[in-house]
Amino acid sequence: MQLGNDDSFEYYNGYKSEITKPRTVTCEYAKSGRSTCKICRQKIQIRELRFGTHQTAFERYDEITSWLHPQCLKNFQSIEHVFKRMKPDKKGNFTIQDSKILIPTDQQYVQEILKEIYDLKIGDNSTLIQNKETPNQEKEYVKIPQKQDVLNKTEQKEQLPKIKKNAKKRTSAQMDNQRKKLQQQIIDQEFVNENTELSDFQDKKKIRVKQVQIKNQKRKQKDQKVKK
């Protein structure tokens, strides 16, 4: 049985393994603080945004999920292989599983990270990229920009107003602050809900105790009347 071409599998020490390169990417908020980032080896805190890369191990016929911090995703081995199956739409956005459960600012943050990796690994014209082999087995390469093209781009950047550049920085900082505030609001709301449920339970318990006390008092009064 043919499991796929050689380009689909990871290589370790020059030998092809039975583990595929990452095929899909998901994102979510960490459900617990037990997972560890596969790149930086640091704990991923509970409710922290994390990415999951999915690979298949054909030895055991099961799926392997590796959890990573958003900033560590671009350093994951063979991450560019994901974009062979996941392409941006006409607006330049990627369709990711479970991304709809994120708050809007985090959804935009996820799209920015994937676009950065896509441009870095796939579409960066300043690096030499090997394309798929043509029918005559000749390899094509992306042309490296000439020095004059780079100088022209530099001149255009210098002519741009500095106000716009600073405005972009402020906008990015404001988005980060807004995202953190929304995350904190979600955590605070969950804390309030838990305390409200606890308070309701305590009130019901007090009422029940009071009812039992009244019932016992009436019973004592009745017993005293019977004795008389």
Q: What does the pLDDT read at residue 68? A: 92
Q: What does the pLDDT read at residue 57? A: 73
Burial of 1 (0-12, 13-18, 19+ CB in 10 A): exposed
**Residue 58 and residue 8 in contact, taking contact as beta carbons nearer than 8 Å:** no
Q: What does the pLDDT read at residue 41? A: 93
CB atoms within 10 A of CB 174: 10
> N- to C-terminal Cα distance for the chain?
97
- Dist CA 44 CA 186 (whole Å): 18
Tokens representing 101 are 């459960």
DSSP per residue, 39-76:
TT--B--TT-EEEEEEEEETTTTEEEEEEE-GGGGGGS
Q: What does the pLDDT read at residue 137? A: 46
- Dist CA 105 CA 88 (whole Å): 19
- Dist CA 118 CA 112 (whole Å): 10
Q: What does the pLDDT read at residue 42? A: 93
**Residue 94 and residue 86 in contact, taking contact as beta carbons nearer than 8 Å:** yes
**Residue 68 and residue 39 in contact, taking contact as beta carbons nearer than 8 Å:** yes
Burial of 27 (0-12, 13-18, 19+ CB in 10 A): buried
- Dist CA 114 CA 97 (whole Å): 13
- Dist CA 79 CA 68 (whole Å): 12
Instruction: Give bridge partners of residue 50 from the DSSP assignment.
Output: 28
* Cα→Cα distances 34→28, 41, 65, 146, 152, Å: 15, 12, 14, 49, 50
- Return per-residue pLDDT of the chain as tens, 228 residues: 233 444 566 655 555 556 677 778 888 999 888 899 999 999 999 999 999 888 877 666 677 888 999 999 888 887 887 777 777 888 888 888 777 788 889 989 988 988 888 887 765 443 434 444 434 444 444 455 554 555 555 555 555 555 545 545 556 777 777 787 887 777 777 666 666 666 666 667 777 777 788 888 888 887 877 776
List the chain domain ranges. 11-122, 180-227
CATH architecture of 11-122: 2-Layer Sandwich (3.30)
Question: Which single residue is written with the structure tokens 């082999």?
Answer: 133
